[in-house]
A and B are shown apart, each in its own frame.
Chain A
Amino acid sequence: MGEKIATRDAYGEALAQLGRSNPDIVVLDADLSGSTKTAVFAREFPQRFFNMGIAEANMMGTAAGLAAAGKIPFASTFAVFATGRAFDQVRNSICYPQLNVKIAATHAGLTVGEDGASHQSVEDIALMRALPNMTVLVPADGVEARLAVRAAAEHVGPVYLRLGRPKVPVIFGDDYSFEIGRAVRLREGSDVTLAACGYMVGPALAAAKLLAGEGIEARVLNMSTLKPLDGDALLAAARETGALVTAEEHSIIGGLGSAVAEFLGQEYPVPVLRVGIGDTFGESGPPEELLEKYGLTAGDILAAAKKAMGMK
């Protein structure tokens, strides 16, 4: 612990590494290669890197064509533009024909910070999760991000990989093994379950520690695959802990919280409280201050956990 790495940095490295072993990997970017870190790949494999300029829709369409011709394209830009600006291209040219395109979107969520609401995707998971054939991955740290990039390349079909701007603490050790569709238990507990993804896994672990101080044992689940959802892990959590809190750096509409509530509502109804961004856009400000203002801290998770337990 102590070490911090941004998931976008892990992506850049992993992508270049993949490029060395697999000549079919090609990369597209939309004038943000320095920020998305595809520049690392571009420097090493200029022939297999295509800067499409500030033209996200065209980038996704081109990626679809590259995939149709046998390549494994990774298309990168900020999450707002990848999912919003190019939504119909992702839907109709990538997901509908089930093409093997990997959308690796960086700068997701509020932690974009000072650029403000126009650049903070609060709805990208909802959009991507609603698409048939799409796999949605939200890694929690650099280690998991690196492994998720590999898994995405090996998986046949469209993948949405949600990555962040800020450096985040390393959670997993070098022995961690990542598998699409599998939630990972980071802490055992039987009083309540904290199911988190991405940036919010850190705060969820911190909340569990605070709860333990009050004699409450919280199970912590890392839900890095949002789709397909790990139903078994959720069922076990519902049965064995009786209440869940979800935590995500995303709107409470359509993201992890929705996915969990939708699933358990049908399969095993227990209280599910959602910690996330309310039905609102973000704003400019330092990431830490924004997380505080929009209710995405360990304290918010802790309060929700107590409330959920009271609803059992």
Chain B
Amino acid sequence: MLVRAETEARLQEKAKNIRRHIITMLAQAGSGHPGGSLSIADIVTALYFAVLKVDPANPQWEERDRFVLSKGHACPVLYGALAEAGFFPLEELKTLRKINSRLQGHPDMRKTPGVEMSTGSLGQGLAAANGMALAGKLDQRDYRVYVVLGDGEVNEGMVWEAAMAAAHYGLDNLTAFLDYNGLQIDGPVGEVMATAPLEEKWAAFGWHVLTIDGHDFGEILAAVEEAKKTKGQPTMIIAKTVKGRGVSFMENEVGWHGKAPDEKQTAQALAELA
């Protein structure tokens, strides 16, 4: 699908701002996870600024679409998007990971407006998303549920239990993204624990599977549209991404999974994201 040039430009601008927030936030916190936050910055931007029906003034609106960040360590990107969308002041981003802050090191649905599920222990978000999707069907509500999983995260057996259940219950109101950035903590996914071929696995579990470039807004939005039209089964969008995307020295570097940039690195990163 071709996105209107105007939409594309707007999303590019938002994603850039959110990437800048990620860098600034982590630098101020002195710890956190830049790589996996940057790799899904475009997906999360597309969701919050072109897909999700949410109301920042009423985060608990019953008809809202739900977004679950199953790979919870990437919450800086979520906080950046929520703040840009108006769920809380941009000013608050600098409290990330500080004591008494609403912005915890991993998402906390009881502390942060707009956060739909507490995550951080990997592998549990898809099951929670299934629950939200089942409730939506029971209540005959139109909302849709979106979830983002990591490619290391799918090492967890529970992900596949949830995959089975989502197809079993025909959760066509559920759309999942798999952030296929190729890296986890101890190294490349294939070396730590071989998970490929992912397309075939999800298809075998009964999902409608699409593979896209996770940094292309046209492809992201087209895949979301196709998922909406798919009946009787959930959709898995396998998004090929670059861990650390947007900051040259972080891109595809396993060492940038979980550490904050120092002052010099922050300046360089922000210059690249200008």
Contact, CB under 8 Å: B121 / A81 = yes
Is there a chain B Cβ closer than 8 Å to A289's Cβ? yes
Contact, CB under 8 Å: B184 / A31 = yes
Residue of B nearest to A119 (CB): B120
Residues on B with C-beta less than 8 A from A131 are none
Residues on B with C-beta less than 8 A from A116 are 97, 104-106, 108, 120
Q: Which of A31, A289, A293 contacts B185, CB < 8 Å?
A: A31
Q: Which of A115, A286, A289 contacts B106, CB < 8 Å?
A: A115
Contact, CB under 8 Å: A34 / B186 = yes
Please encode chain B, from 31 to 46, with 1 for each CB lying within 8 Å of some chain A CB and 0 for all others.
1100000000000000
Q: With A31-B186, A284-B105 given, is the CB distance from A55 to B157 under 8 Å?
A: yes
Which stretch, A46-54, A143-151, A186-194, A249-257, touches the partner chain B? A46-54
Is there a chain B Cβ closer than 8 Å to A179's Cβ? no
Contact, CB under 8 Å: A119 / B156 = no
Contact, CB under 8 Å: A52 / B31 = no
Number of interface residues of B (CB under 8 A): 32
Residues on B with C-beta less than 8 A from A39 are 186
Is there a chain A Cβ closer than 8 Å to B123's Cβ? yes
Residue of B nearest to A288 (CB): B99
Is there a chain B Cβ closer than 8 Å to A290's Cβ? yes
Contact, CB under 8 Å: A293 / B105 = no
Q: Which of B98, B108, B153, B186 contacts A117, CB < 8 Å?
A: B108
Interface secondary structure of B, over-half rule: loop
Residues on A with C-beta less than 8 A from B121 are 80-81, 84-85, 118
For window 45-90 of A, CB contacts with B under 8 Å fall at 51-55, 57-58, 80-81, 84-85
Is there a chain A Cβ closer than 8 Å to B119's Cβ? yes
For window 270-305 of A, CB contacts with B under 8 Å fall at 283-286, 289-290, 293
User: Whole-angstrom distance from the CB of B159 to the nearest CB of chain A?
Assistant: 9
Contact, CB under 8 Å: A283 / B185 = no
Q: How far is the CA of A118 from the CA of B121 in the complex (A)?
A: 6
Residue of B nearest to A78 (CB): B121
Residues on A with C-beta less than 8 A from B192 are 31, 51, 53
User: Whole-angstrom distance from the CB of B96 to the nearest CB of chain A?
Assistant: 8
Q: How far is the CA of A116 from the CA of B108 in the complex (A)?
A: 10
Contact, CB under 8 Å: A114 / B32 = yes
Please encode chain A, from 16 to 38, with 1 for each CB lying within 8 Å of some chain B CB and 0 for all others.
00000000000001011111000
Number of interface residues of A (CB under 8 A): 32
Q: How far is the CA of A51 from the CA of B185 in the complex (A)?
A: 11
Residues on A with C-beta less than 8 A from B29 are 114
Residue of B nearest to A42 (CB): B186
Residue of A nearest to B73 (CB): A115
Contact, CB under 8 Å: A53 / B97 = no
For window 122-142 of A, CB contacts with B under 8 Å fall at none
Contact, CB under 8 Å: B100 / A118 = no
Residues on B with C-beta less than 8 A from A113 are 31
Contact, CB under 8 Å: B106 / A31 = no
Q: How far is the CA of A284 from the CA of B105 in the complex (A)?
A: 6
Q: With A53-B192, A55-B155, A58-B157 given, is the CB distance from A284 to B184 under 8 Å?
A: no
Q: How far is the CA of A5 from the CA of B101 in the complex (A)?
A: 30
Residues on A facing B (Cβ under 8 Å): 29, 31-35, 39, 51-55, 57-58, 80-81, 84-85, 113-119, 283-286, 289-290, 293
Q: A32-B186, A114-B30 are in contact. List 18 more A-B contacts (CB 8 A).
A: A31-B185, A33-B186, A34-B186, A51-B193, A54-B155, A55-B156, A58-B157, A114-B31, A114-B97, A117-B104, A118-B105, A118-B121, A119-B105, A283-B100, A284-B105, A285-B97, A286-B99, A293-B99
Residues on B facing A (Cβ under 8 Å): 29-32, 72, 97-101, 103-106, 108, 118-123, 152-153, 155-157, 184-186, 192-193, 195
Q: What are 14 A-B interface contacts by the 8 Å CB criterion?
A: A29-B186, A31-B152, A32-B186, A39-B186, A51-B193, A52-B155, A53-B152, A54-B152, A54-B184, A114-B30, A117-B120, A118-B119, A284-B105, A289-B99
Question: Which 3 residue pairs of A and B lie closest in terms of their CB atoms, listed nearest first?
Answer: A53-B193, A118-B120, A285-B99
